[in-house]
Amino acid sequence: MNDNRRDFIKKAGMASAFSLLPASGIFANGIRRNEKKGIPIPTKAQQMWQDLEIGVIFCLDLGVLAGDYSPNNYSKKVFDPQSYNPSKLDTDQWVRAAKAAGAKYAIFTGTHFNGFMQWQSDLYPYGLKQSPWRDGKGDIFGDFVASCRKEDIEPGIFISTCRNFYHGVLENYVDWGSGKGTEKQRIFNRMAEKMTEEICSKYGELVQIWYDSGVKLPHEGGPDVLPIFEKYQPNSIFYNASRRSDYRWVGNEDGYARYPCWATMPAADNESHTGDSWKPLLETGDPNGEIWSPAMVDVPLRGSNGIHNWFWNPDQEHGVHSTKKLVEMYYNSVGRNSNFVMGAVITPEGLVPDLDMDRFKEFGDEIERRFSDPLATSSDSGKRLEMNALGKQKVNQVVLMEDISKGERVRQFRVEGKTDKGWKVLAEGSCIGHKYIARFDEMEVSSIKLEVMESIANPIIREFAMYHYCGIK
């Protein structure tokens, strides 16, 4: 995170709408290794999540409907639930936006800072049951899950126990952060556990549960949510707590990962990475890390021209990122071994705005145009992989993927193309992981080869593909 971003955060009076990690750690609950090679490997759920590659998070809360447009919904007010009445709300329309963007999963902000529950719950009298919308019988998360399943999109949820302004919870504790260890905190912890149980048990299998800024665990004075999650959602992704985080935030909300960006991180008990010393590793990972914790790159769609807002505000259409910029973010996230999550605002009427819908489609169409028709593909194990181009072909990008079920093995590689003047280097790098996309000046080749100069075990290449594209239409 750069100094300008830190200054912005301080001035806004908040850490981040979504992404900051608990200071106590970011690491997964256990160490999984390839039995023969001793290399860290992902769980099946982590591997599935990385294959999804693109997600959209849909952001709606009571403050927007009550006409409070505080930056990123950071208002400590308690609003009248009667204000919650989105007259045109259509979760099918939301999910069509995700589908158009090429997303394979979608997340909904079930509760945000305000604490308003957007599903049917009797935990406390501040939710859809107290609103006039659908006579108090509506369940937006239930509708959202059903819409996702119609479109073959994996559904997930974002909830906040770190902040709940209805209960005066700030930075995980009641009494605006000062109530750790009190009876009042104990009561809130039980509510947070019940909230987790409702979400995890009522809506079928979810792709993930995302705790805003992390959830404190019992040894930190917080709720005991991990056993509940693991009971009801054993095949899901958990984000995040000090004793489990199935992925890591990349360290910015600007739509990019640095390169290299490894999917492994040091174990939480590694003395060389205690306190805040792990924070620089958010951007790059650690090739020698013991824990599988791939990076997630998130960015609000309305994050341009001085705007950085996850929630709807009036007159911010000029903040919608251009298609060209979003495509660049794709290369710098998915193309750098990370997942890419875009934030979608929902209007007070309950819809994704038309301009935002169009931009999602333009982005999805452009990614499809660039990557739907490879000139040639191959896969194999070993340190050298060559494929013919079926005659001379113009090429300007290659996609590399390792079989991450066996771990990240490649440490240094080179891609070359055979021209009329011999072999020419097209790309060089270190990390491949789930996916690496290399772009280069257009070159006409008759064949192309991948050479791995350094690896920690025999490389297993899931995909080696070459492409040619023209600029954005």
SS3 track for 331-367 = HCCCCECEEEEEEEECCCCCCCCHHHHHHHHHHHHHH
Q: What is the structure's pLDDT at 334?
A: 98
CATH number for 3-371 (one of 3.40.50.261, 3.20.20.140, 3.20.170.30, 3.20.20.80): it is 3.20.20.80
Treating both helix axes as pointing N-terminal to C-terminal, what angle do 354-371 and 91-100 enclose, rounded to 10 degrees? Answer: 30
Rounded distance between C-alpha atoms, residue 30 and residue 240, angstroms:
14
pLDDT digits (tens, 9 = 90+) for 356-390: 999 999 999 999 999 999 999 999 999 999 998 77
Mean pLDDT for the chain overall: 91
With contact defined as beta carbons under 8 Å apart, do 406 and 34 qualify?
Answer: yes
Left, alpha or beta for 285 (phi > 0: left; psi -120 to 50: alpha)?
A: left
**Partners of 418 in the beta sheet?**
423, 447
Four-CA torsion 352, 355, 356, 357, nearest 10 degrees: 70
pLDDT digits (tens, 9 = 90+) for 284-314: 999 999 999 999 999 999 999 999 999 999 9
Q: What is the structure's pLDDT at 35?
A: 56
- pTM of the complete model: 0.93
Show the CA angle centred on residue 408, arms to residues 403 and 409, nearest 5°: 95
| Banded pLDDT at 471 (limits 50, 70, 90) | confident
> CB 314: neighbour CB atoms within 10 A?
9
Rounded distance between C-alpha atoms, residue 262 and residue 59, angstroms:
29
pLDDT digits (tens, 9 = 90+) for 8-36: 333 333 344 444 443 333 444 456 666 55
Q: Give yes or no for residue 270 having a pLDDT over 90.
A: no
Q: What is the structure's pLDDT at 143?
A: 98
The domain limits of the chain are 3-371, 376-467
Which residues have CB under 8 Å from 354's CB, separation 6+?
none
CATH class of 376-467: mainly beta
